[in-house]
Structure 1
């Protein structure tokens, strides 16, 4: 059965379509930067050997992650970011697939 995907989206806030960056471009650039930063902080957390540094980086990571989430919410609110509704059958299939993986985990 071929189902048409359903987009979840707010009405789009219009921005000027010019060569100059507009509000959408700026927010999108900030969102992308925050995503890169959380990736880098995640790596730093994985490799931190000093507990005090780990705690400091973890705090900065959480602040950066919150900022990233706020920017995502702003883009979604303005209709500049959309989601695709998941098909229930696909969700169930993925759930069964990953539930099956648990049998492969070593027992402690």
Structure 2
């Protein structure tokens, strides 16, 4: 497969190229903020010892994560995000590589 046929992307919505922020800039800014917030909430959740605070923050984390995913979906639909399709052979290699790690886990399933 060549690079072009490997690309998964919607047609990009046209936005004005001006010094002022446009729709893409605003969505990207909020998405970056949500990503940062979920990272920070994750660290806090790992370090919390108070059960009720943990539950409250966990709910906020999940809502923020859902928001972040929806923002990503909006950007993808508008063509602001593109993905590279993985080749089946590379997927199989990664699967085999990481499947072997299961034997190293202390708790087997």
The alignment yields a C-alpha RMSD, in angstroms, of 1.2
What's the counterpart of residue 52 of structure 1? 52
For normalisation by structure 2, the TM-score amounts to: 0.92
Structure 2 counterpart of 1:37: 37
Alignment partner, residue 102 of structure 2: 102
After superposition, where does 1:59-98 map in structure 2 within 5 Å?
Answer: 59-98=59-98
TM-score by length of 1: 0.93
CA deviation after TM superposition for structure 1 residue 107, in Å: 5.0
* CA deviation profile, 1:8-55 (whole Å, cap 9, x unmatched): 101111000111111100100000000000000001110010000000
Where in structure 2 are the equivalents of 1:1-12 lying within 5 Å?
3-5=1-3, 6-12=6-12
Unaligned runs of 5+ in 1: none
Aligned to 2:39, what secondary structure does the other structure show? Answer: helix
Q: How many residues align?
A: 106
